[in-house]
Amino acid sequence: MKNMKIGENYSIHCYKHDGSVHRSWDEAMLLDVNKDFLVFGNKKARVNNSDGRIWYTKEPAIIFYYKDKLYNIITQFKDNGIYYYCNIASPTVLEGKVIKYIDYDLDLRVFSDGAFKILDRNEYNYHKKLMNYPKEINYIIKEELSSLIEMKKSGEFPFNRKAIEDYYELFKKIKKTGK
């Protein structure tokens, strides 16, 4: 992490518990290196799905990858406000210019009005059986989901509009000037 430079681009590789590639993004620009997390930004990133589909993200995003938490958080700047997409996932690993994590299916979606919804319970239950998730993982996943909900309810970082807007302004500045 010492050699990371603000403004550098990285790719993102998301895996499933069995080691198979689930999805990858071609770019994420480094915005901040914190002792607990890394912050990236992207806009119109190319996404490759394991089923062969290729698509591009529609809106700018600020992404938080945590070193010791079982989640990552994507903030999306949509026309009607800021949304959060929280992936229950392994802690992030960085290998060269590649961000890697294991996706554990459950997601928390937070809408611009503050309402939220837990997504993909059926996918989680299916993969839990198919890939034989260890009991410890199941316990931790549920604890982290509860923790995310509490963070959202209390407005704890990064569920803080000002912090997200500041990172977005930084992203736009670096995109424009290169620094």
User: Annotated active-site positions, please?
Assistant: 23
| Gap between the Cα atoms of 74 and 47, Å rounded | 15
- Which residue blocks in 63-160 are alpha helix, DSSP H? 121-130, 135-154
What does each C-alpha distance from 130 to 30, 92, 123, 171 come to in angstroms?
35, 23, 10, 39
Strands 9-15 and 98-110: parallel
> Is 127:16 a contact under the CB 8 Å cutoff?
yes
Q: What's CA 77's distance to the chain center, in Å? A: 14
